[in-house]
Chain A
Amino acid sequence: MAGARPLCELAAGREAVIRSLGGSGAIRQRLLDMGITRGAELRVERRAPLGDPIEIRVKGYYLALRHEEARDILVEELAAPPAAGPAPCGQGDCGRGAGRGCGRGWRHRLGFGRRGG
């Protein structure tokens, strides 16, 4: 089984268990409040048309979060369930490397970084 890695690297359709939650302050508390707790299982439902944010299913409901936030959530991927298979095309992740979605992107280049660099 692979080690823990950031949630934003997971492809659509994959399932994982939350191992730890980084970050601090209000955003961290918010993620906790939304049920991002250690041991909880989640499934990446899809990515938005431009790849970010992502939608996950956790604790029986759907949650959208940006890569920025998803980067702080370390998860351990579960083996792909036999029925689901790889994510179908059109679900937002075809044709890109799984890890690519984690780029910092425009916001940082333009100076909107939340953590002040």
Chain B
Amino acid sequence: MGKLPRIAIAGNPNSGKTSIFNRLTGLSQTVGNYAGVTVEIKEGRAERAGRAFRVIDLPGTYSLAAFSQDELIARDYVVEERPDVVLDVVDATNLERNLYLTVQLMEMRAPLVIALNMADLAEEQGVRIDATRLGRLLGARVVPTVGSQGRGLDEALEACAELLTGQADNPEKRPGPAPVTYGHMVEGEVARLALLAGSEERLAARYEPRWVAAKLIEGDAAVAARVRELAPEAAGVLEAEAADSARRIVAHFGADAATIVAERRYGFAAGAIRECVRFPSGVRRSLTERIDAVACSRWAGPVILAAVVYAMFFAVFKLGDEWGWLFGRSPKGWADALFAWLASAAAPLAQGWPLLGSLLVDGVIGGVGGVVSFVPLIFLLFLFVAVLEDSGYIARVAFMTDRPFRVFGLQGKSVLAMIVSGGLGGGGCAVPGVLAARTLREEKDRLVTMLTVPFMNCGAKLPVFLMLVGAFFPDARARMLLLLWGLSWLFALGAAWALRRFVIRGEQTPFVMELPPYHRPTLRGALTHAWERTWTFLKKAGTILLAVNVVLWALMSFPRGAPERSALPSPAADASSGATRSGDRRSAELGNSLAGRLGRLLEPAGRLAGFGWRENIALIGGLAAKEVIVGTMGTAYSLGEADHENPASLSQRLTADPGWNRLRALAMMIFVLVYSPCVATLAALRRETGSWKWPAFATLYTTALAFVLAVAVYQGGLLLGWGLS
């Protein structure tokens, strides 16, 4: 793809940029890698009438002031990488603010083609735009498009091709858009400074001098740094002159230069609109206004929000997991069945080569299956989130829930991630929860959200709770589960508050957010979006998860064979001396494995919280997935092969065990609630944060917190004399 002409797509968020990119490139998309950057830049290939282009989707931004990472990336791409064409997607129903970005691209003299998107909606609203005239005024082709239906895209590509031909015919002078004039007084200052900047050869070869001048007057630090680099001798003079200009502007207008320059950009946009656009007479209440009058109102708003969230949650878990609507099984059921079948197909192998068989069945198939069986849930979740995003409702969610969440240093959009992770108390999963945090644009808020969603009661913790509650609190099941649910929110919000205060410090991101007009989401758009996110997740998280699962398998399988003498506590030790029950043998093997030894090594610490070596092993196994805890405990407590995964029999076994009591159960449940996110979640965290630092941190801080809490509960309970009965 190296030699193809490059088209960079720029535009405001919500301008329909992504659907245009998807329409242009189809399935040829890849995620570009840019060092040190977590913002994804997607690339693809577009072909029209025998011409191929490389299309780059820049992050959606309102401005190119370079105050946020998105803006910096978009700007650097335009000025440093110099794409052959910048296709600026402009929302025709919201021209003034969209043209503000266009004006900035014009200032850079980027080779522009403008896609006047959502042209159909503008027409419906009675907004008449003279595209030809607007194009003449801006010095760029303006092509009306309807991105969601793919209309006008051929013409847009044609315009790009035309621009390229123009460049090829006239390589000396790149045809660019019309110069932006800054109006009274400011124009003179920019022109004067541009003259100085233009006389610096290396600087002028890279950047449009008028743009450099305007940026220096605005006080843009990144541009000033580039000037010092490219024109070290003249930089001092230039900066001093720029400061003088800024001072004169302040003296003249009584406001700082950045404000005046921004106002002049808006003035330029407003002027173009006055010339080329006719608005309908009389104000009509738009559909968006009518919806929001209810959907964001004080009383109905929260009720509707709760209903929407519940419906999403319900749909994801019922459709994905619980209802067998797809030929007798649920999608997750099919995935589970597939891996069960694979495991049984590999089982004969275990007879000839037990080690290989075990690795294949328990390590590889178990590990990959662990991820793939989540995929139906993740895909459905992404589908619903895409619908919420594309329709514009997610912005309303953030609007309504911002206030309560802000108390804890989070923001409105965090609520979705929390609920997906199990915030309603009835199951959920932190893996899609971590991924749902993508809707948060602010890096710090997103990080705090991702680090706290694992506290939620996910579906995998439930079997552990059900088993222990069933055994020790049989007459208070509902109350105990309610308590655990309340604790999960308490820990998540408390941790968010503490993280924001002590770890991820700094100013809370200001909340200045567009509430875009409601749009009917298209199925095609939502499916593309959901599939793309699912696939990225599968590729990257899957490989990590597989590796970690193999390691965990090795820990629990080596060294093999019966344990030597009676290093094990009873009843496992008794078993090795002659009993032949397979459950006892498995228990003994597990006790003798590295994980078992680690479990016993940790006994002194575990005992503080009331855990024995078996619990320690189970909790280590639970790192792979919390579901494993019950099964591993079953093995460790020497339940027979047939029922070692059945929580009921383990419940009975524990109730009968004199070492177990309510207090121990409570401490264990709290530990399970809080301690390290499972490997799948950690893999998702690694994928989303781009480094191992945060997953490592998440493991350590949650496990430390869990230990402290469990010890406090157990020791405090002992002191108060609880639970001994």
Residues of A in contact with B (beta carbons under 8 Å apart): 20-21, 25-35, 37-40, 45-53, 55, 59-66, 68-69, 90-92, 106-107, 110-112, 114-116
Q: Evaluate whether A46 and B296 lie within 8 angstroms (CB atoms) in the complex, with A21-B259, A60-B97, A63-B515 already known.
A: yes
Contacts of A63 in B (CB 8 A): 512-515
- Pairs across A and B, CB under 8 Å, 7 listed: A27-B510, A29-B65, A34-B97, A49-B400, A60-B97, A64-B511, A64-B513
Contacts of A35 in B (CB 8 A): 96-97, 100, 266
Give the docked Cα–Cα distance between A34 and B263 (Å): 11
Q: Is the CB–CB distance between A52 and B403 below 8 Å?
A: yes
Interface string of B289-300 (1 = CB under 8 A from A): 100110011110
Nearest CB on B from A66, distance (A): 5
Q: Which 7 A-B pairs have the closest CB atoms?
A: A33-B63, A32-B262, A50-B403, A62-B515, A26-B67, A27-B510, A114-B507
**Given A37-B263, A60-B96, A112-B500, are A49 and B513 neighbors across the interface (CB < 8 Å)?**
no
Per the bound structure, the CA–CA distance linking A60 and B68 in Å amounts to: 24
Chain A residue at smallest Cβ distance from B61:
A33
Contact B508 A114 (CB under 8 A): yes
B67, B94, B293, B508: which contacts A112 (Cβ < 8 A)?
A: B508
Q: Pick the contact of B515 from A29, A55, A66, A68 — CB < 8 Å?
A: A55
**Inter-chain contact A90/B97, CB cutoff 8 Å:** no
Dominant SS at the B interface?
A: helix
**Min distance, Cβ B275 to any Cβ of chain A, angstroms:** 17
Contact of B255 among A20, A61, A69, A112 (CB under 8 A): A20
**CB closest chain-B residue, reference A35:** B97
Q: Does B258 lie at the interface of the complex (its beta carbon under 8 Å from any beta carbon of A)? A: yes
Interface residues on B, range: 35 or more
Are the CB atoms of B399 and A51 closer together than 8 Å? no
Give the docked Cα–Cα distance between A79 and B268 (Å). Answer: 29
Contacting residues, chain A, for B258 (C-beta < 8 A):
28-29, 32
Contact of B100 with A33 in the complex, beta carbons under 8 Å? yes
Chain A residues lying within 8 Å of B44, measured Cβ to Cβ, are none
Beta-carbon contact of B100 and A90 below 8 Å = no
Q: How far is the CB of B584 from chain A (nearest CB, A)?
A: 55
Q: Which residues of A contact B288 (CB under 8 A)?
A: 62
Residues on the B chain within 8 Å of A51, using CB: 403
Looking across the interface, which residue of chain B has its beta carbon closest to that of A31?
A: B512
User: Counting CB contacts under 8 A, is B409 at the interface?
Assistant: yes
| Residues of chain B lying within 8 A (CB to CB) of residue A37 | 259, 262-263, 266
The verdict on A46 contacting B292 (CB below 8 Å), with A55-B515, A112-B406 known, is yes
Chain B residues positioned under 8 Å from A53 (CB to CB): 399, 402-403, 511
Q: Are B255 and A38 in contact (CB under 8 A)?
A: yes
Which residues from chain A contact B32 at a C-beta distance below 8 Å? none
Q: Do A34 and B514 touch (CB < 8 A)? A: yes
**How far apart sit A29 and B263, CA to CA, in the bound complex (Å)?**
11
Contacts A49-B297, A90-B297, A114-B510 aside, 11 further interface pairs with beta carbons under 8 A come to A27-B512, A30-B512, A31-B512, A34-B514, A46-B292, A61-B97, A62-B514, A64-B515, A69-B510, A107-B407, A112-B508
Bitwise interface map of B from 476 to 519 toward A, beta carbon under 8 Å scored 1, else 0: 00000000000000000000010011000001101111111100
Q: B404 on the interface (CB 8 Å rule)?
A: yes
Smallest Cβ distance from A58 to chain B, in angstroms?
A: 9
Interface check B62, CB cutoff 8 A: yes
Contact of B67 among A29, A47, A49 (CB under 8 A): A29
Who on chain A is nearest to B294 by CB?
A90
Inter-chain CA distance A110–B407, complex, in Å, is 8
Measured between beta carbons, the chain B residues less than 8 angstroms from A33 are: 62-63, 65, 100, 262
The answer to whether A50 and B65 touch (CB under 8 A), given A29-B258, A63-B514, A64-B515, is no
Decide yes or no whether B640 CB sits under 8 A from chain A. Answer: no
B301 within 8 A of partner (CB): yes
Q: Do the beta carbons of B402 and A66 come within 8 Å of each other?
A: yes
Q: Judge whether A65 and B512 touch: CB under 8 Å.
A: yes
**Cα–Cα distance between A51 and B516 once the two chains are bound (Å):** 20
Could you tell me if A91 and B297 are in contact, using CB atoms closer than 8 angstroms? yes
A62 to B287, CA, bound (A): 13
CA distance A29 to B82 in the complex (A): 25
Give Cα distance in the complex from A115 to B145, angstroms: 44
Chain A's closest residue to B511 (CB) is A66
Query: Is there a chain A Cβ closer than 8 Å to B544's Cβ?
Result: no
**Is B324 an interface residue when CB atoms closer than 8 A count as contact?**
no
CB distance from B645 to the nearest CB of A (A): 45
Q: Could you tell me the distance between the alpha carbons of A114 and B231 in the complex, rounded to whole angstroms?
A: 37
**Interchain CA distance A55-B516 in the complex, whole Å:** 12
CA distance A61 to B508 in the complex (A): 25
Q: B514 — which chain A residues lie within 8 A by C-beta?
A: 34, 61-64
| Beta-carbon contact of A59 and B96 below 8 Å | yes
Cα distance A106–B497 in the bound complex, in angstroms: 12
B104: nearest chain-A partner, CB-CB: A33
**Chain A residues within an 8 Å CB radius of B500:** 112
Q: Is B250 positioned at the interface, with any CB of A under 8 Å from its CB?
A: no
- B104 CB to nearest chain A CB (Å): 9
- Bound: A62/B516 CA distance, A: 7
A40 partner residues in chain B, CB cutoff 8 A: 266
Closest to A30 in B: B512
Q: Chain B residues with Cβ under 8 A from A66's Cβ?
A: 402, 406, 510-511
- Taking CB atoms, residues of chain B closer than 8 Å to A45 are 289, 292
In the complex, the answer to whether A30 meets B399 with C-beta atoms within 8 Å is no
Q: Which residue of B lies closest to A55 (CB)?
A: B515
A residues less than 8 Å from B97 (CB atoms): 34-35, 59-61
Most buried by B among A28, A52, A53, A111: A53
Complex Cα spacing A37 to B360, Å? 64
Contact partners of A47 in chain B: CB under 8 A: 298
Residues 62-74 of chain B, each 1 if its beta carbon lies under 8 Å from chain A, else 0? 1101011000000
**B302 on the A face (CB < 8 A):** yes
- Roughly how many angstroms separate A69 CA and B510 CA in the complex, as a whole number? 7
Per the bound structure, the CA–CA distance linking A115 and B507 in Å amounts to 7
**Shortest CB–CB separation between residue B522 and chain A, in angstroms?**
22
Q: Is there contact, CB below 8 Å, between B508 and A107?
A: yes
Pairwise interchain contact A69-B511, C-beta atoms closer than 8 A: yes
Q: Within the assembled complex, what's the spacing in Å between the Cα atoms of A69 and B508?
A: 12
Q: Is the Cβ of A49 less than 8 Å from the Cβ of B298?
A: yes
| Cα-based distance from A92 to B299 in the complex (angstroms) | 9
Contact assessment for B263 and A38 in the assembled complex, using a CB-CB cutoff below 8 Å: yes
Does B359 interact with chain A (Cβ within 8 Å)? no
Residues in A with CB closer than 8 Å to B705 are none
- CB pair A32–B399 under 8 Å, yes or no, is no
Q: Is B131 an interface residue (CB 8 A)?
A: no
Cβ of B272 within 8 Å of any chain A Cβ, yes or no, is no
Residues of chain A lying within 8 A (CB to CB) of residue B94: 60-61
Q: Judge if B230 is at the interface, Cβ distance under 8 Å.
A: no
Q: Is the CB of B302 within 8 A of A49?
A: yes
* Chain A residues near B501 (CB-CB < 8 A): 111
The verdict on B395 contacting chain A, using a C-beta distance below 8 Å, is yes
Q: CA of A62 to CA of B395 in the docked complex: distance in angstroms? A: 11
- Chain B residues whose CB sits within 8 angstroms of the CB of A114 once the complex forms: 507-508, 510
The distance in angstroms between the C-alpha atoms of A22 and B231, with both chains bound, is 34
| Neighbouring A residues of B513 by C-beta, 8 Å | 63-65
Cβ 8 A contact of B298, one of A32, A38, A61, A91: A91
Q: How far is the CA of A21 from the CA of B256 in the complex (A)?
A: 10
Within the assembled complex, what's the spacing in Å between the Cα atoms of A66 and B299?
20
Knowing A29-B258, A59-B97, say if A110 contacts B497 (CB, 8 Å): yes
Residues of A within 8 A of B262 (CB): 29, 32-33, 37
